[in-house]
Amino acid sequence: MTSTLNPPATSTTVQVPTTRVDAIAKVTGQARYAAEYDLDRMAFGFIVQARIARGTIVAIEDAVALAMPGVLAVIDYRNAPRLSDAGDAELQLLQSERVYYRGEVVALVIAESSEQARAAAEALPISYAEADHDVLFRTDHPEIYTPEKVNPNFPSESSVGNVDGAFDAAEVRVQAWYSTPAEHNNPLEPHATTAQWDGDELTVYDSNQGASSVHSTLCKLFDLPRGRVHVRSEHVGGGFGSKGSARPTVVLAPMASKLLDRPVRVTMTRQQMFALVGYRTPTIQQVRLAADHTGRLHALDHLAYSQTSRIVEFAEQTAVMSRVMYATPNLRTRHRLLALDVPTPRWMRAPGEAPGSFALESAMDELAAELQLDPVELRIRNEPDFEPDGGRPFSSRNLVSCLLEGSDRFGWRERDPRPGIRRDGRWLLGTGVASSTYPARNAPSSCAITARADGSFEVRITAADLGTGARTALTQLAAESLGVGLADIELRIGDSDFGQAMIAGGSMGTASWGWAIDKAARQLRGQLDASGGAVPPEGLSVTSNTRAEIDAQADVVRHGFGAQFVEVAVDPRSGEVRVPRMLGVFAVGRIVNPTTARSQLIGGMTWGLSMALFEESIMDVEFGDYLNHDLAGYHVASNADVGAIEVAWVEEHDEQTNPTGIKGIGEIGIVGTAAAIANAVWHATGHRQRALPIRPDRILNSANAAG
């Protein structure tokens, strides 16, 4: 099923499976990415990274590199242009001799070719005064503190009722610790920037999730008026949060280009990305649940620890999900943070909700087992009528519909609840369930539309398509709002000259951009109707901005919801876990393009499988670095690991989300997936897995401990 929200009776573009409008350009190589703009007299920069985890640079023998073939310059803290404050200390590149973490940028070597730049960078002698470092994340560290806010702007703590009193008095109690490791983004396209100056005017071709956001940062860093900076990111090869803000290449390339007065390209290697573009923080979480014998929650307590760097505070909102999920009169969420000599963690698909759901939804499964109650029924019994934390109404909430629809599709009701009894040859079989949620936000965005004399329309908006299909969905929305066909729309995105717009992040890109497009289209249609449809030879243009409407939105809770069902097979002799079957059912507002929506949800669920079984960045405490910083050592799910995945969505009409009825779908697919797999592993083996990833050694160790 798909959803509708009062679509025009004549609409034939939205909610229709549609091939990507940029498909031919991508498969034929016509689509250009940030490192594919070949400018005259191009030079190439290669990043030099710190080889200590903390200390200061004592000497850089740049003469060694400058004497090598093709080398044009070496930039370091001694000769780098001075940068202004842009609100992110990690972007103050090459401004100081201090080293805050291993892998930090300490120099840039520029040469006539990328090979020459890399060779010289690797040969550049740098000596350091090394200081003691601390990279060990733990809950008993004496410098643990409580941040004021967590990402993006939530209070760090919340409390309703008397959690401790309710927990002590409860008939049934569950209390457990859960942990998730550091995980690293690995989009297919590495971070890259091509920069060129024309006098005091800067143009960059950059791989990012929001050209207008990067534009604002560059204006601040280089003290430039807005009209003198142009950021182009027409095609982007993935991001998942790692490109959600300006990263080092977009600062270094302009610095080098200014110094040499010629275009410069800086591209990161896969290994460099592990230190320089963010990652998902490791977490250690405690969840306490108190209930009566019927399964009604009396208390929910969620405490989450995470890490940050010493130069930028990033506090993941790990426990915030627990503020909206289940009805309880006593609810408390808390966050604790530890600053270490490590790179700054940043956004990674469903920051907060992905690790937080593993703990909460695992604990709910443990409570169901303690009560001998079906896990689906337990969740339904604790469905809230309003936001448990703040008391606000939900704009729409269809979690129960997702659970019931998923139960029917998955065959859940035939499940034997007893763990460790189903077999298929050597394999132990189990099934698990977990709930999903993700906020359905909107952010102010602007759009311009021009009606042409030939009857076509040009739509300009600083959106970003990371491979999600946003370009196609926005074309569909524009065609619907203007009452024309897809062929009548020329959509232009990824250019900061088009004005301020939300980044592709937080699952609010398409919703925010679609709102701006719809507003501009309505304004334009009004002008066309007033003029009898006449369009002057130069065209008729309108611009829109949705800030006023978004600021005036009612104070309600806007979320998408879903239910994840999985089946696993576990080999008790080897500890291997396989996932032959997954089902996700979601209530995520109006689906613009069923083809790309299905792809996004499958992608999220696949990543959740990868999170559950494989992904883990391993810190060498003495060395101060993540050891497995490449795709040989950092394991992700591949084709052989992924079985059948089915995706469905329930009909949802939500007139309070935005005029288009859209809720974001980019992140909800990963939320709850790891918990569903862990719960299924318990059902298969009878042993609970509270630490991710669920490696073979952990399966074997839990069996040995129990036996």
Active site residues per annotation: 667
Q: How far apart are CA 570 and CA 685, in angstroms?
A: 8
DSSP 516-536: HHHHHHHHHHHHHHHTTT---
Q: How far apart are CA 11 and CA 244, in angstroms?
A: 33
Residue 457 CB contacts under 8 Å (≥ 6 apart), including other chains: 449, 450, 451, 478, 482, 484, 488, 489, 490, 524
Paired residues of 604 in beta bridges: none
- Buried residues in 211-228 as b, exposed as e (16+ CB within 10 A): bbbbbbbbbbbbebeeeb
Q: How far apart are CA 693 and CA 613, in angstroms?
A: 5
Report phi then psi at 355, rounded to 5. -70, -35
Query: Cα–chain-centroid distance for residue 328?
Result: 29
Its sign, for the CA torsion 291, 297, 299, 303, is positive
Tokens representing 460?
Answer: 């300009």
Q: How far apart are CA 428 and CA 685, in angstroms?
A: 7
Residue 690: strand, helix, or coil: coil
Q: Name the residue among 322, 326, 319 with its Cα closest to residue 298.
A: 326
User: Roughly what angle, to the nearest 10 degrees, separates helices 673-685 and 696-706?
Assistant: 40
Tokens representing 102?
Answer: 């291993």
- Would you say 245 and 217 are in contact if contact means Cβ atoms under 8 Å apart? yes
- Would you say 124 and 268 are in contact if contact means Cβ atoms under 8 Å apart? no
Residue 81, preceding peptide bond in cis (omega within 30° of 0): no
Strand order in the sheet with 559-570: 423-424, 427-439, 559-570, 577-587, 642-649
Q: How far apart are CA 440 and CA 93, in angstroms?
A: 35
- Buried residues in 195-209 as b, exposed as e (16+ CB within 10 A): bbbeeeebbbbbbbb
Q: How far apart are CA 189 and CA 405, in angstroms?
A: 37
Write down the residue that tokens 């499976």 correspond to. 17
Go through the chain and tell me how many residues it has.
707
Q: How far apart are CA 65 and CA 132, in angstroms?
A: 29
Residue 433: strand, helix, or coil: strand
DSSP state of 346: -
Q: How far apart are CA 625 and CA 94, in angstroms?
A: 20
Q: How far apart are CA 528 and CA 541, in angstroms?
A: 10
Distances (CA, A) of 591 to 4, 322, 461, 657, 661: 8, 26, 21, 13, 9
DSSP state of 604: H
Strand order in the sheet with 331-340: 158-160, 331-340, 297-309, 283-291, 172-180
* Long-range CB pairs of 289-292, under 8 A, 24+ apart, other chains included: 289/173, 289/174, 289/175, 289/363, 289/364, 289/366, 289/367, 290/166, 290/167, 290/169, 290/170, 290/172, 290/173, 290/330, 291/170, 291/171, 291/172, 291/173, 291/367, 291/371, 292/170, 292/171, 292/172
Q: How far apart are CA 157 and CA 138, in angstroms?
A: 20
